Amino acid sequence: MEFHHFAYPHKLSFREADRESRCLGCLDVINGPAYISEAGFGMHKVCAEMPPQIQKDAFHPHPLKFKLLDAIVCDACSRLSVSYICYRCMYCDFNIDFRCAKAIINDENEIEKRDDEDLQRTRTLHFSHPHQLTRCKVSPILTEFEEDFIEEIWTINKLKLNKLKCVACKWELQDTQAFMCLPCRFIIHESCMNDMPMQVQSSLFHPHHILHPRPFFNAGEVRCYACRSKVNGFSFYCNKCDVDLHVSCAKYRTRATKHSCHPHNLLQLGKSIIKRISCRACGRKNCNDSFFSCRKCDFNVHPKCIPLLSSFEHKRHLHPLMLVSPFAEDDSGDYYCDMCETERNPEIHVYYRAECNYIVLDKWQYKQKQME
Ligand SMILES: [Zn+2]
Ligand SMILES: [Zn+2]
Ligand SMILES: [Zn+2]
Ligand SMILES: [Zn+2]
Ligand SMILES: [Zn+2]
Ligand SMILES: [Zn+2]
Ligand SMILES: [Zn+2]
Ligand SMILES: [Zn+2]
């Protein structure tokens, strides 16, 4: 049984696959007989039988026509994904991914199962970007394997959606709710957008001026003053000094300390800010240790590499407290100093007593010294 599919240039025949392969339509693994090409690409029978055009008035009033390899935010399930085949309205901005199209054609209830209740399609404007943002979820369906697979069949258009990072916090987006401007590849976690201040006052990296939001696009390369890595599309900005910072870097919780090894104040920085920086004393980089850092002079040292007490005793605790690397005692996300109850950044070294699970900020070592 030979077959020509509208989305694939070569003949397909109905048979068992010779090697593991994935369906060009739904991207799931193919088991058993399916439509397979000579090159080994294939489609499930139900997927191959999907029409090139869908008209279901109850679902959408206009005809939806197939489109090859595109990144869309699906209007049925709100997921952002790259598909080999998706369907797009001929008259308005309405798109559905292949899986939802299949559900609409074959089983009208199925679509509800994929429809996240709290993920209604919303468009909104936010001061971080000049265009409308669409609420979406970055599809967990598209694994790296699937992305390679898509590139294998269609190498012209490299849409590295999985590499997209939130403009505010610099983290990759995995199955979290986000807002996106697809043409600009601008994407931001919903939580990062909601938590964003209108301005940042007294950021430790740039303490003397207020930082204001600066949306930009096509601005060439913009580097963050704090972490030195690229800023994509949005920063907090000082227009007096022409300084840009990532949102998360501008808000980074840290403290400044004075130490005899350097004439300026040193900031305590963790690995989300000091990636790929090497220690002035021991030369190591890519470790999980925190740093003491002077951004002006690019002076960076590990706490363990400068004369810093490896342990000290405090009158409010029975045992000596030991200097340890960045430390989170659990994954609660809330960390405090047991001496003064102030919140602490888990990326920064502390003094610690394991058997008492007692953790204190390093300032207690200096404070005690000053009092003596
Ligand atoms: Zn399929
Ligand atoms: Zn329409
Ligand atoms: Zn984020
Ligand atoms: Zn845009
Ligand atoms: Zn930064
Ligand atoms: Zn400034
Ligand atoms: Zn070092
Ligand atoms: Zn300095």
Say how many Å lie between the CA of residue 72 and the centre of ligand 2.
Answer: 15
Say how many Å lie between the CA of residue 185 and the centre of ligand 4.
Answer: 7
Asked which of 196, 215, 242 is the last residue of a domain, the reply is: 196
At 347 the pLDDT is 83
Burial of 4 (0-12, 13-18, 19+ CB in 10 A): exposed
In this structure, the answer to whether residues 171 and 241 fall within a common structural domain is: no
Say how many Å lie between the CA of residue 211 and the centre of ligand 6.
Answer: 8
Say how many Å lie between the CA of residue 98 and the centre of ligand 2.
Answer: 17
CA distance 177 to 169: 14
Tell me, yes or no, whether 123 lies in a domain. yes
Domain extent at residue 173? 50-196
Asked whether the beta carbons of 359 and 337 are under 8 A apart, the reply is yes
Ligand at minimal distance from the CA of 238 is 6
In this structure, the answer to whether residues 245 and 349 fall within a common structural domain is: no
Burial of 69 (0-12, 13-18, 19+ CB in 10 A): middle
In this structure, the answer to whether residues 332 and 360 fall within a common structural domain is: yes
In this structure, the answer to whether residues 157 and 93 fall within a common structural domain is: yes
At 147 the pLDDT is 59
CATH code of residue 237: 3.30.60
In this structure, the answer to whether residues 66 and 191 fall within a common structural domain is: yes
The complex's ipTM works out to 0.76
In this structure, the answer to whether residues 185 and 212 fall within a common structural domain is: no
Say how many Å lie between the CA of residue 199 and the centre of ligand 6.
Answer: 13
Ligand at minimal distance from the CA of 235 is 5
Tell me, yes or no, whether 85 lies in a domain. yes
Say how many Å lie between the CA of residue 244 and the centre of ligand 4.
Answer: 20
Tell me, yes or no, whether 12 lies in a domain. no
CA distance 350 to 163: 33
Divide the 372 residues of the chain into consecutive groups of 10 and give the mean pLDDT of each group: 82 86 84 87 89 86 88 82 85 89 76 50 87 81 56 49 79 83 86 93 90 86 89 93 94 83 86 81 80 86 79 85 80 86 84 88 70 52
At 161 the pLDDT is 57
Say how many Å lie between the CA of residue 169 and the centre of ligand 4.
Answer: 18
Say how many Å lie between the CA of residue 42 and the centre of ligand 4.
Answer: 36
Say how many Å lie between the CA of residue 342 and the centre of ligand 4.
Answer: 40
Say how many Å lie between the CA of residue 178 and the centre of ligand 1.
Answer: 27
Ligand at minimal distance from the CA of 170 is 3
Tell me, yes or no, whether 32 lies in a domain. no
In this structure, the answer to whether residues 62 and 179 fall within a common structural domain is: yes
At 144 the pLDDT is 58
CA distance 106 to 111: 10
Tell me, yes or no, whether 17 lies in a domain. no
Helix (H, G, I), strand (E, B) or coil at 28: coil
At 81 the pLDDT is 75
| CB contact set of 100 (below 8 Å; sequence gap of 6+) | 74, 76, 77, 111, 114
In this structure, the answer to whether residues 153 and 228 fall within a common structural domain is: no
User: Tokens 């001929």, residue?
Assistant: 90
Q: What is the distance between the terminal CA atoms of the chain, rounded to a whole angstrom?
A: 91
Ligand at minimal distance from the CA of 60 is 2
Say how many Å lie between the CA of residue 178 and the centre of ligand 3.
Answer: 8
Ligand at minimal distance from the CA of 180 is 4
In this structure, the answer to whether residues 169 and 80 fall within a common structural domain is: yes
Say how many Å lie between the CA of residue 318 and the centre of ligand 5.
Answer: 40
* Ramachandran bin of 354, using left for φ above 0, alpha for ψ from -120 to 50, beta for the remaining angles: alpha
Ligand at minimal distance from the CA of 263 is 8
Number of domains observed in the structure of the chain: 3
CA distance 200 to 259: 27
Question: What letters, b where the CB count within 10 A reaches 16 and e where it falls short, cover 196-228?
Answer: beeebeebbbbeebebebbbbeeeeeeebbbbe
Asked whether the beta carbons of 321 and 338 are under 8 A apart, the reply is no
In this structure, the answer to whether residues 73 and 135 fall within a common structural domain is: yes
